[in-house]
A and B are shown apart, each in its own frame.
Chain A
Amino acid sequence: MTKDIYVFIETKDQNVRKASLELLSKGKEIAEKLSSQLYAVLIGHNVSGLIEELKPFSDKIIVAEAEILEHFRWDTYGEVLEKLLKKYSPYLFFGASTTTGKDLFPRLSARLKSHIISDAVDIQIDGAEIKVKKPIFGGKVLSWLSYDDDRTLFITFRPNSFAVIKGSYQAEIFIENIEITRDERMNVLSIDKGGSKKVDLQEADFIICGGRGMKGPEHFQILEEIADIMNGRVGASRAVVDSKWREYDDQIGKSGKTISPKLYIGCGVSGALHHTMGMDTSKIIVVINKDQNAPIFQYADYGIVDDLFTILPILKEKLKQAKNET
Chain B
Amino acid sequence: MNILVFVKQVADSEAKIIIKADNKSLEIENKYTLNFFDEFAIEEAIKIKEKFKDSQITVCTYGSKRSIEALRTAIAMGADRAFLIDNAQHPYENSIVVAAILASFAKKEGFDIILCGRQAMDDENAHLGSMIAEFLSIPHISAILKLEIIDGKKARVENEIERGRATIEVALPTLFTTQKGLNEPRVPLITGVMKAMKVNIPVIDPFTLGILKEDLNSYSKKIKLLSYELPANRPPVKIIEGETPEEKVNNLIKILKDEAKAL
Contact = CB atoms under 8 A, between A and B. Distances in A.
Chain A interface mostly? mixed
Given A137-B11, A186-B139, A297-B237, A192 B164 contact: yes
Contact of B139 (A75, A117, A274): A75
B145 to A, nearest CB: 8
Interface in A134-159: 135-149, 151
Interface stretch (A23-31, A56-64, A107-115): A107-115
9 closest A-B pairs by CB: A110-B134, A149-B222, A107-B130, A110-B131, A193-B164, A194-B164, A185-B171, A106-B127, A144-B226
Contacts of B130: 74, 103, 106-107, 110
18 contacts: A74-B130, A99-B143, A103-B142, A103-B143, A106-B95, A118-B127, A141-B230, A144-B226, A187-B169, A188-B168, A248-B180, A273-B14, A301-B237, A303-B239, A304-B239, A304-B249, A319-B263, A322-B253
Contacts of A186: 139, 141, 168-171
Interface in B190-241: 219, 222-231, 234-235, 237-240
A256 B180 CA distance: 8
Contacts of A116: 95-96, 127
B234 A301 contact: yes
Nearest to A108: B134
B244 to A, nearest CB: 9
B235 to A, nearest CB: 7
A79 interface: no
Contacts of B124: 118-119, 135-138
B170 A187 contact: yes
B223 A117 contact: yes
A262 B262 contact: yes
B85 to A, nearest CB: 18
Nearest to B174: A185
Given A102-B142, A284-B260, A131 B226 contact: yes
B109 interface: no
A301 B260 contact: yes
A319 B235 CA distance: 25
A200 to B, nearest CB: 7
| Interface core residue of A192, A280, A298 (most chain B CB under 10 Å) | A192
Contacts of A144: 225-229
Nearest to B128: A106
B181 A118 contact: no
Query: Which of A143, A188, A248, A249 is the most central at the interface, judged by chain B CB atoms within 10 Å of its CB?
Result: A143
Interface string B10-23: 01011001010000
Contacts of A191: 161, 164-167
Given A118-B125, A187-B169, A113 B96 contact: yes
Contacts of A299: 234
A318 interface: yes
Contacts of A318: 249-250, 253
Interface of A: 10, 12, 72, 74-75, 98-100, 102-103, 106-107, 109-111, 113, 115-119, 131, 135-149, 151, 183, 185-194, 197, 200, 248-249, 251, 254-256, 262-263, 273-274, 277, 280-281, 283-287, 292, 297-306, 310-311, 314-315, 318-319, 322-323, 326
Interface of B: 11, 13-14, 17, 19, 26, 36-37, 94-96, 99, 119, 121-131, 133-135, 138-143, 156, 160-171, 174, 180-181, 219, 222-231, 234-235, 237-240, 245-246, 248-250, 252-253, 255-257, 260, 262-263
B237 A300 contact: yes
Query: Per DSSP, are chain B's interface residues mostly helix, strand or loop, or mixed?
Result: mixed
Contacts of B225: 143-145
Given A102-B126, A119-B124, A186-B170, A303 B165 contact: no
Contact of A142 (B138, B228, B248): B228
A15 B219 CA distance: 38
B243 to A, nearest CB: 12
Contacts of A115: 94-96, 219, 222-223
A251 B36 CA distance: 15
B228 A143 contact: yes
Contacts of A197: 163
A273 B13 contact: yes
Nearest to A274: B13
A145 B226 contact: yes
Given A110-B134, A137-B17, A141-B228, A118 B126 contact: yes
Max count, chain B CB within 10 A of own CB: residue among A99, A106, A300: A106
B260 A302 contact: yes
